Amino acid sequence: MASYQCDLCGGETSFYRQSEKMRQCLLCGVVSLSPDLIPTNLNSYYENNIFYTENAKDPVLVAGMIRSARFYLSLLKKYIRPSGGQLLVDVGANFGILVEESIRQGFQAIGLEKNKSLILVGLERGLNISDTNLSELVTSNQVAVITAMHVLEHLTQPRSLINDAFQKLAVGGILMLGIPNMDSYLAQKDGLSWRYVALEHLYYFSPKTLSQILIEEGFEILAIKRDGTNLADLSLKKLLRYLIGGPLSRDRFQPKNTSGRQVAPTPKKNLFRLIIKNMIIFLIKILRREDFIVIVARKK
């Protein structure tokens, strides 16, 4: 049996849930994809995969992105006001929904993105989005905010992004990270079948493990919030799993389709169904069973 050390802290790792496909550090607790399964063409995968580009054509997904962006900004503005036009840099900007919403709410904002097609869509929308690495970014104004929403889990070196953010932020600047929560109800219940286990997700954090890394890199934690903005996009069947669950077994270690997705037709509105759905979402939030968390940290 091969022995692996944790890339984040150097600790020894063991199988996660008795599976050789995922490992957990015995020292820091971070869960990671087995190195043997990490795709060798990750850069090309993100630069050229049109699966992500198809999101820009799906009105339901776009509405969900806008909803998430507004939630992130409502949380962010508790700790920094955009009255001076502070510069916000969104890492993993997709085609620029968060960048666009940030500008609307008073920030200067630019996006960093690796997918070539998404960059083009963003540029067509009149947004400043480029493939520049955060470590190489040069700006005329100090960076007040860096956001990286559902980016960290995709990186081979997530600690490097946190360190790069620390270097680029002004003193007192804010770093906001969004991640799937490895301690969530369904993550613990479903194990290797959890819907956010995937070959492109290389690391899996809990609030505790990510907070510790942020502290070690010089940040102070301001807030850890559950994020349920994705729930409105789920079917009733998927939502009910958060309440009543049931055995689930599926292989999450399959490559994602790179040829794009078929845009689903916009569902017809049904008032009764919408009421039931909102009631279930309310219960999920009361029970604190959301899959995602957002961590807000400040550079000391």
pLDDT (tens digit, 9 = 90+) per residue, 2-25? Answer: 668 898 898 999 999 999 999 999
Whole-number Å distance between alpha carbons of 250 and 73: 35
Cβ–Cβ under 8 Å, residues 101 and 70: yes
Burial 222-255 (b: 16+ CB within 10 A, else e): beebbbbbebeebeeeebebbeeeeeeeeebeee
A 10 A CB-CB count for 81 gives 12
- Order the strands of the 129-130 sheet from edge to edge: 129-130, 108-112, 87-91, 143-149, 169-180, 292-299, 219-227
Q: Would you say residue 260 has pLDDT above 80?
A: no
Q: Does any domain span residue 11?
A: no
Confidence of residue 143 (pLDDT cuts 50, 70, 90): very high
Confidence of residue 254 (pLDDT cuts 50, 70, 90): confident
- Residue 236 sits in a domain whose CATH number is 3.40.50.150
Q: Does any domain span residue 184?
A: yes
Range of the domain at 218: 38-299
Q: What is the pTM of this model?
A: 0.93
Whole-number Å distance between alpha carbons of 221 and 129: 28
pLDDT on residue 280: 97
pLDDT on residue 171: 96
Query: Quick check: helix, strand or coil at residue 146?
Result: strand
Question: In this prediction, what percent of the chain has a pLDDT beyond 90?
Answer: 75
Confidence of residue 159 (pLDDT cuts 50, 70, 90): very high
Domain total in the chain:
1
Q: Does any domain span residue 6?
A: no
Q: Does any domain span residue 4?
A: no
Q: Does any domain span residue 187?
A: yes
Q: Would you say residue 258 has pLDDT above 70?
A: no
Q: Does any domain span residue 161?
A: yes
| Across 48-58, average pLDDT | 76
